[in-house]
């Protein structure tokens, strides 16, 4: 339970960091070449395993925000033998305080989607009880 609370706290801390940093000027950091192809409206992410598109107007977050989030996730996920191998953070064109985050995590032992849902259920329940989470608006599995 403690590890799961740590992970939830990491997310909450990230949100707080964003609160502090989002007013700072955004500067692009070096692009992770070759994985994105630009057209006029969409960026295409392709890592040989998955493909998805995201709005071309979303810009990469500042290196400060990126590195702080990476450190938080590395620190907390390592406690449960999970490791970040990909992290992308983009800022919204509508509101620099809003972020799109994509991450790819390596797990040591294979897990099922049912296990992941059960894990989130427990984590959210513990976080609600601890007061870090105020409301679960939705938690569901969709096939």
Partner 1 sequence: MIFEDISVKSGNFNGRTYTIKTVIGSHIYEFSIYGLDNAGFQSDKIYLDNIIDSFSLN
Identified binder of partner 1 from the candidate list 5, 6, 29, 53, rule CB under 8 A? 53
Q: Does 23 bind partner 1 (CB under 8 A)?
A: no
Q: Does 38 bind partner 1 (CB under 8 A)?
A: no
Identified binder of partner 1 from the candidate list 27, 75, 79, 104, rule CB under 8 A? 104
Helix (H, G, I), strand (E, B) or coil at 107: strand
Tokens encoding 97: 């305080």
Identify whether the C-beta of residue 17 lies closer than 8 Å to the C-beta of residue 69.
Answer: yes
Q: Which residues contact 79 (CB under 8 A, 6 or more apart)?
A: 3, 6
Identified binder of partner 1 from the candidate list 6, 66, 125, 132, rule CB under 8 A? 132
Identified binder of partner 1 from the candidate list 5, 26, 92, 126, rule CB under 8 A? 92
Q: Does 85 bind partner 1 (CB under 8 A)?
A: yes
Q: Does 142 bind partner 1 (CB under 8 A)?
A: yes
Tokens encoding 48: 């040989």
Burial 67-85 (b: 16+ CB within 10 A, else e): ebbeebbeebbeeeebebe
Length of the chain: 143
Q: Which residues bind partner 1 (CB under 8 A)?
A: 11-12, 14-16, 18-19, 22, 42, 46-55, 58, 82, 85, 92, 94-95, 97-108, 110-113, 116-117, 120, 124, 132-143
């Amino acid at each position: 339970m403690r590890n799961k609370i740590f992970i939830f706290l990491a997310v909450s801390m990230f949100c707080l960091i964003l609160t502090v940093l989002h007013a700072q000027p955004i500067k692009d950091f070096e692009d992770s070449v070759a994985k994105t192809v630009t057209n006029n409206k969409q960026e295409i992410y392709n890592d040989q395993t998955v493909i998805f598109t995201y709005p071309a107007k979303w810009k990469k977050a500042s290196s400060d925000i990126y590195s702080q989030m990476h450190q938080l996730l590395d620190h907390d996920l390592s406690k449960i033998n999970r490791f970040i191998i990909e992290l992308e953070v983009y800022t919204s064109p509508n509101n620099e305080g809003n972020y799109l985050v994509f991450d790819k995590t390596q797990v040591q032992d294979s897990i099922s989607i049912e296990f992941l849902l059960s894990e989130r259920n427990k984590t959210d329940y513990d976080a609600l009880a601890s007061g870090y989470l105020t409301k679960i608006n939705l938690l569901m599995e969709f096939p």
